Copies of this chain bind each other. A is one copy, B any other.
Amino acid sequence: MAGNSFGTIFRITTFGESHGEALGGIIDGCPPGITLDFEAIRHEMQRRRPGQSAIVTQRREADEVQFLSGIFEGKTTGTPIGFTIANSNQKSDDYAHIKDLYRPSHADFVYEKKYGIRDYRGGGRSSARETASRVVAGAIAKQVIPQVKINAFVSSVGDIFIDKPYQQLDFSKTESNAVRCPDEATAAKMEDYIREIRKQGDTVGGTVTCILQHVPVGLGEPVFDKLHAELGKAMLSINAVHGFEYGSGFCGARMKGSEHNDVFNPDGTTKTNLSGGIQGGISNGMDIYFRVAFKPVATIMQPQQTIDNKGNIAEMQGKGRHDPCVVPRAVPIVEAMAAMVLADFYLINKMY
């Protein structure tokens, strides 16, 4: 257990550093006979790609997935799906200046202490570039459970929040703006704010909300592997995530039982859904919804004090690409992780 696999039956194992030859992974346990929609996979990869809009620095990364196995004449065969994504940029010298520095709030220091060695180029394994492999697996997971509708979107940037319940949002608009916020008025405010942050050479955090609809009743295992516990772990494993809540979440902690209990309709649905579609760790057929908090990314374009590996104080400043708010880019990653959790539990549940 060295942390590079996720899932029990539908299981992804990933490899790859930011500036190595390639990233990639192996998806084990994908059911056979699925006619893969490669265009859908390409679309998800495109969504994850950095530098797609006016609010961030452009970068050319093709992020083309090369599938190497597990697919025959367009269909999954039940054998492991191996894939790679080439890294176009492998130049070490771009990073020579931070070779001996520990960037603040990055993983440089802890990697050095834990492993005694690190690939300092672009954060190496700790780079968010690793999530490209997750998006591939998630795009396939979505095709394992096509009946489920997965919609994530940016619900806040800094102090700017959507102030509507998700039921009033039109998810078809999420992709129509650079911040992936389905509420157009809020989206405009978020974009303005991010432009301002960018001018300051700073970054800002935000939240992603995700809605899972048409999830079959019965997914999730009780006790340790509750559906929301796995969703929580999945989300917390994404770079920069500092919080997870589902259903009533932290607000629920302020409520009374008489307000919070979801009264049943005769058909087993519930009148309210503060439970967030999960009871006792198992899906109950209602919408599952959760929210994920992303801290602002650590790479800022302002001078910062730091130390080198000898303990000397040094000054550094981010250079190159500046991504003032990664939250919009996290949207497809949140969806990918959710899809993997659901596909895995869906397959496990076939045992019963």
Where the two chains meet, the residues of A that have a C-beta atom closer than 8 Å to any C-beta of B are 1-6, 8-9, 11, 13-17, 20-26, 28-29, 31-33, 66-70, 72, 75, 77-82, 84, 102, 104-107, 109-111, 113-119, 124-126, 130, 156, 158-159, 197, 200, 202-207, 217-218, 221-226, 228-230, 232-234, 236-237, 239, 242-250, 252-268, 270, 274-276, 279-284, 293-300, 302, 304-307, 311-313, 347-352
Q: Does the CB pair B21–A280 fall under 8 Å? A: no
Kindly identify which residue among B14, B124, B280 contacts A77, using a CB–CB cutoff of 8 Å. B124
Q: What 13 additional pairs, Cβ within 8 angstroms, besides A15-B70, A77-B118, A232-B233?
A: A2-B29, A13-B26, A13-B28, A15-B68, A69-B125, A77-B125, A110-B279, A111-B280, A114-B217, A229-B234, A257-B296, A257-B299, A260-B298
A243–B81 Cα gap in the complex (Å)?
A: 30
Rounded to whole Å, the gap between the CB of A139 and the closest CB of chain B is: 17
Q: Does the CB pair B236–A232 fall under 8 Å? A: yes
Residues of the B chain whose Cβ atoms lie less than 8 Å from the Cβ of A242: 228, 245-250, 252-253, 276
Residues of the B chain whose Cβ atoms lie less than 8 Å from the Cβ of A236: 226, 228-229, 232-233, 244
Kindly identify which residue among B3, B33, B294, B295 contacts A115, using a CB–CB cutoff of 8 Å. B33
Q: Does the CB pair A72–B119 fall under 8 Å? A: yes
Kindly identify which residue among B9, B245, B283 contacts A293, using a CB–CB cutoff of 8 Å. B245
Rounded to whole Å, the gap between the CB of A305 and the closest CB of chain B is: 6
Q: A3-B224, A126-B280 are in contact. Are A17 and B69 (CB under 8 A)?
A: yes
Q: A77-B117, A232-B232, A236-B232 are in contact. Are A304 and B26 (CB under 8 A)?
A: no
A113–B347 Cα gap in the complex (Å)?
A: 16
Q: Does the CB pair A32–B115 fall under 8 Å? A: yes
Q: Does the CB pair A125–B264 fall under 8 Å? A: no
Q: Does the CB pair A68–B20 fall under 8 Å? A: yes
A84–B202 Cα gap in the complex (Å)?
A: 40
A109–B283 Cα gap in the complex (Å)?
A: 10
